[in-house]
Amino acid sequence: MSEHGNGNGGGGELVQLTAKDFKSDQEVRWCPGCGDYAILNAVQGFMPELGLKRENIVFVSGIGCAARFPYYMQTYGMHSIHGRAPAIATGLSVSRPDLSVWVVTGDGDSMSIGGNHLIHALRRNVNLKILIFNNEVYGLTKGQYSPTSKLGTVTKTSPLGSLDQPFNPLSLAIGAEASFVARAIDTDKKELTEVLRAAANHKGSAFVEIYQNCNIYNDGAFDFVREEKENRLYLRHGEPITWGDKGVRLLPDGSPEVVSALEPGLLVHDAHAKEPAHAFALSRMTQEVIGATPMGVFRSVERPVYDELMAEQIRVAKGKGEGELAALLDSGDTWSIA
């Protein structure tokens, strides 16, 4: 809870920070009842745990309701352009590895126009913490269906029901080789804070899907876990996967079988499994498939981090007398006309 000098931007002096220190003077402008308020409160409450000066923390957003987040955080921040937050944050993270860089985005911003930037940030394992507020709709532009809207969703742009098969955000991230993947819900501050803590401690790309209720254009989308808490399946590394009196076993084809929690051979959660098959199987366990929704950390593995790989490459190049910009500019013509 204190701010110490360290390798992540601390200044050496001891400063006590609280959630209030991370609240800006800007009026928070979301619709009354929006799930973004709860997420903002959880993030502001967690920030002191980083032990960093506020000027060593950066929030980068794209476009959408969630993209207002940097205005409300008393840190550095950038409200960038649609879908490009992971690309902009990548440049910042690579050039300033001493900073704690967070990306705040929505399901439309990140998985439609920004889908390409998202998957490449994840596969490169850039040192970013990516928070995706998933409300299964475009909220800022007044209720069009998004890449995560369920098949058949009726909106202004799909009056007869969406024909698009929706993305499963966690499956997408795992398929893109994300080294950390987790899920939480806006109204469960305790679990959301635990997930934020795990993401912050992870070295590399951390992908966190947050179920966020849009009470104006898609109200109640997640009531199956918001109101029915017994439908939440909390993942704990090293423990059998159970909820209530139920548990899960995997069939030979890899599909889940719901059995009594007392049955032998229950699937045990291994968040650190090197291969992504385990995490991917968990990401496919939805309310429709098993009658519960997994929450918590699905995957957390160590992999080389992009900024460290780049720094080492530059070091090697300099050792060979390469990579000096001044020398390159003074080297004369690098081409000739035959």
pLDDT tens digits for range 112-142: 999 999 999 999 999 999 999 999 999 999 9
- The residue whose two tokens read 């997640």 is 222
Residue 310 pLDDT exceeds 70: yes
Strand partners, 297: 182
**96 found inside a domain:** yes
**19 found inside a domain:** yes
Give the pLDDT of residue 268.
97
Of 128, 246, 120, the closest CA to residue 172 belongs to 120
- The residue whose two tokens read 């007869």 is 160
**214 found inside a domain:** yes
**166 found inside a domain:** yes
- Total structural domains in the chain? 1
Cα dihedral across residues 126, 128, 133, 139: positive or negative: negative
Give the pLDDT of residue 323.
62
Give the pLDDT of residue 254.
86
Residue 2 pLDDT exceeds 70: no
Give the pLDDT of residue 47.
96
Give the pLDDT of residue 322.
66
What's the average model confidence in pLDDT over 144-158?
92
What is the spatial distance between Cα 215 and Cα 38, in angstroms, rounded to a whole number? 13
Tokens of 260: 């009594």
**286 found inside a domain:** no
Domain with 156 in it: 2-221+304-325
What is the reported pTM?
A: 0.90
Q: Which helix (H) or strand (E) holds 79?
A: strand 76-79
- Higher local confidence (pLDDT), 337 or 101: 101
Instruction: Give the Cβ contact number of residue 162 at 10 Å.
Output: 18
Residue 28 pLDDT exceeds 90: yes
Q: Give the burial class of 85: count Cβ atoms within 10 A of its Cβ; 0-12 exposed, 13-18 middle, 19 or more buried.
A: buried
CATH code, 36: 3.40.50.970
**256 found inside a domain:** no
Question: Any residues with CB less than 8 A from the CB of 317 and at least 6 apart, and which?
Answer: 323
Q: What beta strand segments (E) does 5-67 contain?
A: 15-16, 57-61
Residue 13 pLDDT exceeds 60: no
> Looking at 14-18, 63-67, 233-237, which range is the least confident one?
14-18
**152 found inside a domain:** yes
Work out the mean pLDDT of the chain and round it to a whole number: 91
What's the average model confidence in pLDDT over 239-247?
95
**299 found inside a domain:** no
Per-residue pLDDT tens for 41-76? Answer: 999 999 999 999 999 999 999 999 999 999 999 999
220-224 contacts at long range (C-beta below 8 A, 24 or more positions apart):
221/135, 221/136, 221/137, 222/185, 224/287, 224/293
